[in-house]
Structure 1
Amino acid sequence: MDMGMSMLPWLDQPVMLHSNRNPGACAMTAEQCAYKNSYWVFWYQADHRYALPTVAFFLVAIILFTLGHILAGIFAPRMKQASPLSRVLAAFRFLSYKGWRLGGWNTQSLGVFLLGAAGVVFFLAMTLGPRPYYWPNTKEINYGNSPPLATRAGFMALACMPFLILLSAKANPITALTGISHEKLNVWHNWVAWAMFVLALVHTFPFIVYHVWKGDIVEQWSTGGVWVTGVVAIIAQAWLTFMSVPWIRNRYYEFFKATHLFMALVFVIFFFFHCDFRMSSWDYFIATGVLYSLCWLYAQCKTYFEHGIRHKARLVPESEHTLRITIDTRMEWGPGQHVFLRFLTCGVHALTAHPFTICSVPRRDCKNQLVFYVKSRGGLTGRLMALARKNPDIQIPVLIDGPYGGIPAGRVGDFDRNLAIGGGVGAGITLSLIEDFVRYSSVQENKEMKVIVATRDPDMRAWYTQALEDIATRQALEKPVAGLAIHIHETFTEGGEQELSAENIKVQGNTQSIDSKESSPSSTSATEIFNLQVIAGRPDLPAAVHHMADREGVSVGVVVCGPSSMLYDVREAASAVQNSIISTKPGIARELWLHSEKFS
């Protein structure tokens, strides 16, 4: 046996970048040769017939969203007055916001489903449209050993790989072109993974059917490296796909994160060997490697060269379930943005970075402070809370990657009326919006902001009020901020779970505010400056959204961060307002823009 063959049993020898495309002379009849070499089934051009159109499909989608992003910036000034353009914009926003709730799960938006349906139609047409699915082989006539159905599905699955990997990167060119943040692209990472997995199954089973018919499937498994590498690759792919199902990933997130990258590496390596440089198959691995390496290197450069390795994270337990993390830095960021933090003294967690939404805003030409309010769960956050309780105000080394996502620059300041909604620890994002609003309150005339925070944590009011006091100190606020109102809804009082503390509270109907005469000076200052009120019970979020949009000709910006039920209520109200704008209903805002965050 050839020494090279024994050393690399999974690759044909000699190893090349591309295999030979010459089919050789056809020994069958002219009619049979024409059938075998016809456009849709000719094996030696299958990558051009199926992989390249798949790449084109993804590129067309990216180009369309890029054009939309560019046009939105060009026509933004024309949205200052109600016009046909505003109704067109409302129609696209309706598609983006409209969704459904099934049990305790929010569906994706109508627009996402429509784009996903376009992908389903494309893949079904390309897979099931061309005929035949199997060669009409007999014991005497052999058209080929690769069923056409398996060939086309395999090359389409291969073409999905660069986009699948690219959509998983935090810093990626798709985000740069379309303006869609990486966490919002994650749905497409998941859906492309499912498309690729289904195509891989369609690629696999016809080979099993064919070789069972031929009677040599045991021999193929025993002697063919292509079967071994294919089986390992599809097992790894199945693991990656099913473990990414939201309810599984969320329930076992730490285990998911620890195994996902490893299994992805196993999948790519064995998929690489499985392709065995057939035609242009390895070109897709080269493209994937180059693109992902650039994304990874960009993120690493931001972490080590822009932010450095000297940052320290200060941990302070604010309540039983809420941890405050602060990091002194000179970096800059925008409202609602998040960073990935890698804590270097948390055991195995030091190997991974976790996302946290920033709850502060930077000041120019001075040292800034990143502030995070984190709900203690299991895994990393539980470990951090344990460290903070054991040694309050402890400082641990941390690496920073970001910032990413957030609210597009200037969006909140562009609107006449603003509504910020936070649920649970998602209330942290409202703090950065409040601080951003008060920074420019002196130059923003007739601007309004209402903040609604809902919490089940009895201790949340204390740390939230202290955070407001910190904002007042940083911004040197001495008088009430015009146009700003903050309502804290304490939902733990429902059903008699716990009574509101009578200390420092005065009742005004169903609304309660911190008493300025009996409370501490800091509480009094926060109450008066920010028009802070505490309310028992759940907020009526749809009513709040509609109330903000009930003035004709105004523009409204809404930001929400919280549990899935809260996101659904706000999205439904926002989509209803878009319907009113499209139908030119009197007494309605000219536009309503919604930004939602799924984590904090």
Structure 2
Amino acid sequence: MQMSGAMKMVPFLDQPVMLHSSRDPGKCTMTPEQCAYKFSYWVFWYEADHRYALPTVAFFLVAIILFTISRLISKVTPQGLKRKSLWSRLVAGLRFISYKSWNIWGWNTHSLGTYMLAAAGAVFFLAMTLGPHPYYWPNTKEISYGGSPPIATRAGFMALACLPFLIVLGAKANPITALTGISHEKLNIWHNWVAWAMFVLALVHTFPFIIVHIEKGDLVETWNTGGVWVTGVVALIAQAWLTFMSIPWIRNRYYEFFKATHLFMALAFIIFFFLHCDFRMSSWDYFIATAVIYTMCFLYSQCKTYIEHGFRHKASLVPETNDTLKVTIDTKMTWAPGQHIFIRFLTCGVHAFTAHPFTICSVPQKDNKNQLVFYVKHRGGLTGRLMKLAEKNPGVQIPVMLDGPYGGIPDKHIDQFDKSLIVGGGAGAGFTLSLLENFIYLTSFVGYKAEMKVVVATRDPGMRAWFTQAVEDIAARHSRSGVIDGLSIDIHETHHEQGSDTALDTLVHHPKSEKDTSETGEERSTAEMLGIRFLTGRPDLPTLTREFASQRESSVAVVVCGPASMNYDVSEAAAAAQRRILAQGDCAREVWLHTESFSY
């Protein structure tokens, strides 16, 4: 009774408030044929959640299960079977649809596999929305089948069923990543697309009600007396804001504003959506499921931040060049090559309330006295503030809080392959360092025999110095002989060509001549020991990738982190390699690709 009394204070909810509304449709007073029509499988209002919401949940779960099974099969398959031609071609076919994309007017599309899965979702939602009939009840003055148009009812319950998956896909630590091995940042596209599907379904749910009440002539009266309209409209406005502000070019241009408003609007959407559902049938169960799963994701992230990592960390800031900032944090935590971590800088004004992702450019040391190293590109906002602090007081230390690590190379390690090609462009140069350090460690201490080529392209004229020094420091920590077998590093400097801002995307590859080189004797010695070459112009990545992928009976890993044009060139070459494997041409046994979007 106390609960009921308290809930009566909540506006917009029917009384008494319950967890589930009744499923009793009452006695049908129409003819048997009309009653059968009203109670038919696809339009019976009191079972609409079972007919539409549950299949929507099943659709998402089937997709997750298929990816989970695929991951498990890949992990448990014996190496002997993986060397068979049939297995190689099967894997190549799946990888082709995962790697194949297109460049349309300078815009890189998502992969073929992404669109295939999206198409399956579109077919499902269109079939479930437009397939059953009728769309509207054939009500008359004498006969009323119901007040909710069937198309609006089913669209509403399908939108509701999307909610738990929408929220979970946007979480850093989430069960989908744990099951499928797909990192949270790569799931973000699905967070965005599920949001669009849900928004379209919400519109399909809304407009039939407007049409019906316009025809009845009581739209204004219904709005004035029905709280369900108010809650629905507020939820729809908040949903529209969230959806349109997440369009990439809007989000990227106004990112700080987007981030500041996203959580507030998301909270408004959830609250008013909850009130709008008004405990109809099992509608509130989906909010309970969402709250439980997201709370677990949030608590996991917070436990890593406050309990595992704590308040003891401090970041040291040193400007490497005018464009690059080096951030180092002493820690006892461990991570894998290619992972990133969210850092909250506690003395950076409003930025102290948000955590930002940074790709780790180092690997843990065997003595557990580890150092997180980040090479940060100066872009304004938080990074601009950090750069100003470092320029004013090089080596300044700032208290930070850590959340992570996350991401990285899923279920694959470079040491599983005979050859590896690591490509970094711009700020992505720092990403290559952790993979390079892991290779040097394995070569020096584990007896790993393989080949790694690192290709870095940059416009920053000061990048050569800090990158070479970083490689030299890595070699000093791990190399026993001073010379690393199987390693070669090409640094392509694009700023020589008239200082164009688009140099990275337009220059062709041509090696630097002897007379143009400005290396000192010490720099040449270091470069020779580490297998470093300095070149000008953009690297010919399609040709380089094709050369690696053409080495017969070898397994090849290709990892790229850079601008969109660089990722596209390498992805296209990797997709072409899958076609050659399918045709059993003159090519490697396996070509595996991992693309990364550099975080700061």
Contact residue 458 and residue 495 of structure 2 kept, 8 A = yes
Does 2:76 align with 1:74? yes
SS in structure 1 of the partner of residue 138 of structure 2 = coil
Contact residue 361 and residue 434 of structure 2 kept, 8 A = yes
Structure 2: distance between partners of 1:115 and 1:519:
55
Contact residue 417 and residue 557 of structure 1 kept, 8 A = yes
Contact residue 511 and residue 535 of structure 1 kept, 8 A = no
Relative distance call for 1:444 and 1:541 in structure 2 (3 A) is farther
Partner of 1:171: 173
Partner of 1:585: 585
SS in structure 2 of the partner of residue 315 of structure 1 = strand
1:281-321 per-residue CA deviation (whole Å, 9 max, x = no partner) reads 00000000000000110111111111111100111111111
Contact residue 312 and residue 395 of structure 1 kept, 8 A = yes
Partner of 2:349: 347
Q: TM-score w.r.t. structure 1 length?
A: 0.95
Partner of 2:272: 270
Structure 2: distance between partners of 1:476 and 1:551:
28
Does 2:470 align with 1:464? no
Further displaced range: 397-406 or 486-495: 486-495
Does 2:294 align with 1:295? no
Match of 1:416 among 397, 415, 418: 418
Partner of 1:574: 574
Contact residue 79 and residue 86 of structure 1 kept, 8 A = no
Contact residue 183 and residue 410 of structure 2 kept, 8 A = no
Contact residue 12 and residue 227 of structure 2 kept, 8 A = yes
Structure 2: distance between partners of 1:3 and 1:331:
50
Aligned partner letter, 1:479: G
- Following superposition, the deviation at residue 5 of structure 1 comes to 9.0
Further displaced range: 550-559 or 406-415: 406-415
Relative distance call for 1:513 and 1:474 in structure 2 (3 A) is farther
Structure 2: distance between partners of 1:103 and 1:293:
42
1:361-384 per-residue CA deviation (whole Å, 9 max, x = no partner) reads 001233100001111112211111
Partner of 2:64: 62
Aligned partner letter, 1:306: E
- Any residues of structure 2 matched to 1:531-546 within 5 Å, and which? 531-546=531-546
1:535-567 per-residue CA deviation (whole Å, 9 max, x = no partner) reads 010000001101111211000001100000101
Does 2:217 align with 1:215? yes
Does 2:122 align with 1:120? yes
Structure 2: distance between partners of 1:20 and 1:6:
18
Deviation beyond 3 Å, 4+ runs, structure 1: 2-7, 442-446, 495-498, 507-516, 523-526
Contact residue 472 and residue 526 of structure 1 kept, 8 A = no
Structure 1: distance between partners of 2:258 and 2:514:
44
* Percent identity between the two aligned chains: 68
Does 2:524 align with 1:527? no
Q: Mark the runs of 5 or more structure 2 residues left unpaired by the alignment.
A: 502-509
- Following superposition, the deviation at residue 446 of structure 1 comes to 4.1
SS in structure 1 of the partner of residue 315 of structure 2 = strand
Contact residue 415 and residue 448 of structure 2 kept, 8 A = no
Match of 2:246 among 244, 257, 275: 244
- Following superposition, the deviation at residue 479 of structure 1 comes to 2.1
Contact residue 511 and residue 533 of structure 1 kept, 8 A = no
- Following superposition, the deviation at residue 28 of structure 1 comes to 1.3
Structure 2: distance between partners of 1:509 and 1:425:
22
Contact residue 343 and residue 397 of structure 1 kept, 8 A = yes
- Any residues of structure 2 matched to 1:171-570 within 5 Å, and which? 171-408=173-410, 411-442=413-444, 443-444=446-447, 446-495=449-498, 510=513, 518-520=520-522, 523-524=523-524, 526-570=526-570
Structure 2: distance between partners of 1:330 and 1:513:
45
Structure 2: distance between partners of 1:402 and 1:364:
20
- Following superposition, the deviation at residue 497 of structure 1 comes to 5.4
- Following superposition, the deviation at residue 476 of structure 1 comes to 4.6
Contact residue 440 and residue 479 of structure 2 kept, 8 A = no
Partner of 1:597: 596
Contact residue 192 and residue 246 of structure 2 kept, 8 A = yes
Relative distance call for 1:446 and 1:364 in structure 2 (3 A) is closer
Contact residue 19 and residue 279 of structure 1 kept, 8 A = yes
Structure 1: distance between partners of 2:500 and 2:140:
76
- Following superposition, the deviation at residue 444 of structure 1 comes to 4.3
- Following superposition, the deviation at residue 252 of structure 1 comes to 1.1
Partner of 1:501: none
Does 2:118 align with 1:104? no
- Following superposition, the deviation at residue 474 of structure 1 comes to 2.0
- Following superposition, the deviation at residue 277 of structure 1 comes to 0.3
Relative distance call for 1:357 and 1:143 in structure 2 (3 A) is same
Relative distance call for 1:460 and 1:477 in structure 2 (3 A) is farther
Structure 2: distance between partners of 1:471 and 1:356:
20
Contact residue 8 and residue 15 of structure 2 kept, 8 A = no
Contact residue 443 and residue 449 of structure 2 kept, 8 A = no
Contact residue 21 and residue 279 of structure 1 kept, 8 A = yes
Partner of 2:11: 9
Further displaced range: 467-476 or 132-141: 467-476
Further displaced range: 153-162 or 404-413: 404-413
1:323-357 per-residue CA deviation (whole Å, 9 max, x = no partner) reads 11110001111110000111111111111111111
Structure 2: distance between partners of 1:227 and 1:271:
11
Structure 2: distance between partners of 1:225 and 1:567:
50
